[in-house]
Structure 1
Amino acid sequence: MVTDMPVTARTGDTRRSILDTAQRIIAHKGYSAVGINEVLAEAGVPKGSFYHYFPSKDAFGEALLRSYFEEYVADMDRILARSGQSAAEQLTTYWQQWRETQSVDDCQGKCLAVKLGAEVSDLSEPMRLVLKEGTDAIVDRLERMITGGLQDGSVAIDGDPRGTAQVLYQMWLGASIMAKIHRSLAPLDSTTTMTRQILHL
């Protein structure tokens, strides 16, 4: 079959397909429980070609997490860029999306920080550093929203914006884990209530 697509574009598409497929599978099963062959089979990529795209499984894990966080913070940036919304409305939108994507039965690849945080931090120092970098980027954006809320008067807090952003993110991560343990969204609902209290919404 003849194709006009450049080799670099085809390579990029295949690499993207592997990462997208892995994100969906690993969000359900975890990192250690998923073999490379399972991902390649699901992605429709021939076995043996994995190392053409990733030099090692560790490098694959780093790429997977980087891709996840890039998409995640891009979603946050889209919320921040919405015109006509107060910072409080932006924050509310963010937390609502979090709740929706952390459903008990199917997180659709949207919960890698929750799923892999503890697991890979003990397995791989490079992956732990990517997780740290990614979660710091999330907290950065929450801090920006909170600071914006203080400026537009839609948010009030008792502490500083950075500390508040960190506490809120940690609280939501914990609630997401508890939601999985209890197979109930009640922890996320109670965290939503507490978030509103902390931000005086």
Structure 2
Amino acid sequence: MGRTSDARERLLEAGERLFGERSYGAIGVAEISATAGAPKGSFYYYFPSKQEFAVAVIDEHWRRQKEEWSSILSAEGSPVDRLHRLFEATAAVQREAKSGVGAVAGCMFGNLALELSSTEPVIRERLQEIFDTQVDMVGAALGDDRREMATAVVANLEGLVLLAKLRNDPSLIESQWDSTARMLEAGASA
């Protein structure tokens, strides 16, 4: 009986870390393979192209993030309380990244969307699906007929993560929660 390889998982972990530290365009297959401790041939065994690899990394990252979002958004409390916890959890991830590597990582999905949305349609389409699902999840937490508000909340969170990355300051996400709460309150009374 042959030995089971964990090369695919190691490649995905390496890709997620490298995409978080730099960019899609700055990283090659050789570096991904070396970081994973896997032969370059293993990369092409599991992933026919770097683009397909990126989609697999995105999907793995989303699988974990979606579980976290689901847990937070379906927990007890008012919709505003649950969204506040989502913002707090997002800030915590950015604080952890900063304490680990000295820099706010930002959002992998946002980073890749900014870099690749005009050049890699397959990646752009997958990222659109993820952001649409995020809006659906926030909309479900807010209640019926709240898609516009849910879109505004996701856009606000994504924008705050981008600014936190730019300023290398994860506290920006939490410090802007009050303005998000006011937006939600104004939308509820409209």
When normalised by structure 1's length, the TM-score is 0.79
Return the offset for 1:74. 1.5
* More divergent stretch after superposition (168-177 vs 85-94): 85-94
Equivalent position amino acid for 2:12 in 1: L
1:1-201 alignment to 2 at 5 Å? 7=4, 10=5, 13-82=6-75, 84-103=76-95, 104=98, 105-107=102-104, 111-147=107-143, 160-185=145-170, 187-200=172-185
Cα distance in 1 for partners of 2:152, 2:184 equals 12
Aligned residues: 181
Find the aligned partners of 1:116 and 1:79 in 2 and give their Cα distance: 25
- Which AA in structure 2 matches 1:121? S
- Give the alignment's Cα RMSD to 1 decimal: 2.3
| Percent identity of paired positions between Structure 1 and Structure 2 | 27
Whole-Å separation in 2 of the counterparts to 1:185 and 1:46: 37
* Partners of 1:80 and 1:182 in 2: CA distance: 28
Deviations 1:38-67 (A, max 9, x none): 121111111222110001111111111122
Bigger Rg, structure 1 or 2: 1
Q: Counterpart of 1:152?
A: none
Gaps of 5+ in 2: none
Listed as ranges, the gaps of 5+ residues in structure 1 are 149-159
Contact 2:74 2:141 survives alignment (8 Å): no
Shift of 1:165: 0.8
Instruction: Work out whether residues 172 and 191 of structure 1, in 8 Å CA contact, stay in contact via their aligned partners in 2.
Output: no
Change (3 A) 1:38 1:55: same
Deviation at 1:106, TM superposition (A): 4.4
CA distance in 2, matches of 1:172, 1:196: 12
TM-score by length of 2: 0.84
Q: Measure how far apart 1:190 and its partner are.
A: 4.3
Q: Is the 8 A contact 1:21 1:39 kept in 2?
A: yes
